[in-house]
Amino acid sequence: MEDTAKIEFAGKTYEIPVIVGTEGEKAIDIQALRQKTGLITYDPGFGNTGSCKSAITFMDGEKGILRYRGIPIEELAEFATFKETSYLLINGKLPNQAELNRFSVLLNDHSLVHEDMQHFYQSFPRASHPMGILSSMVNALRSFYPELQTMEEEINITVTRLLAKVRTMAAMSYKISRGHRVIYPRPDLAYTANFLNMMFDSPVRPYIIDNDVARALEVFWILHADHEQNCSTSAVRVVGSGRVNLYAAISAGISALWGPLHGGANQAVIEMLTQAYEKNIPVRRLVERAKDKKDPFRLMGFGHRVYKAYDPRAKIIKKWCHTLLDKLRISDPLLEIAMELEEIALKDDYFIQKHLYPNVDFYSGIVLRTIGFPTNMFTVLFAIGRLPGWIAQWKESMDDPDWRLSRPRQIYIGSPQYDYIPVEKRD
State the catalytic residues: 304, 361
Angle at the Cα of 76 from the Cα atoms of 75 and 80, rounded to 5 degrees = 120
As a three-state string, the secondary structure of the chain is CCCEEEEEECCEEEEEEEEECCCCCEEECCCCHHHHHCCCCCCHHHCCCCCCCCCCEEEECCCCEEEECCEEHHHHHHHCCHHHHHHHHHHCCCCCHHHHHHHHHHHHHCCCCCCCHHHHHHHCCCCCCHHHHHHHHHHHHHHHCCCCCCCHHHHHHHHHHHHHHHHHHHHHHHHHHCCCCCCCCCCCCCHHHHHHHHHHCCCCCCCCCCHHHHHHHHHHHHHCCCCCCCHHHHHHHHHHCCCCCHHHHHHHHHHHHCCCCCCCHHHHHHHHHHHHHHCCCCHHHHHHHHHCCCCCCCCCCECCCCCCCCCHHHHHHHHHHHHHHHHHCCCCHHHHHHHHHHHHHHHCHHHHHCCCCECHHHHHHHHHHHHCCCHHHHHHHHHHHHHHHHHHHHHHHHCCCCCCCCCCCCCCCCCCCCCCCCHHHCC
Q: How many residues belong to the chain?
A: 427
Burial 16-38 (b: 16+ CB within 10 A, else e): beeeeeeeeeeeeebeebeeeee
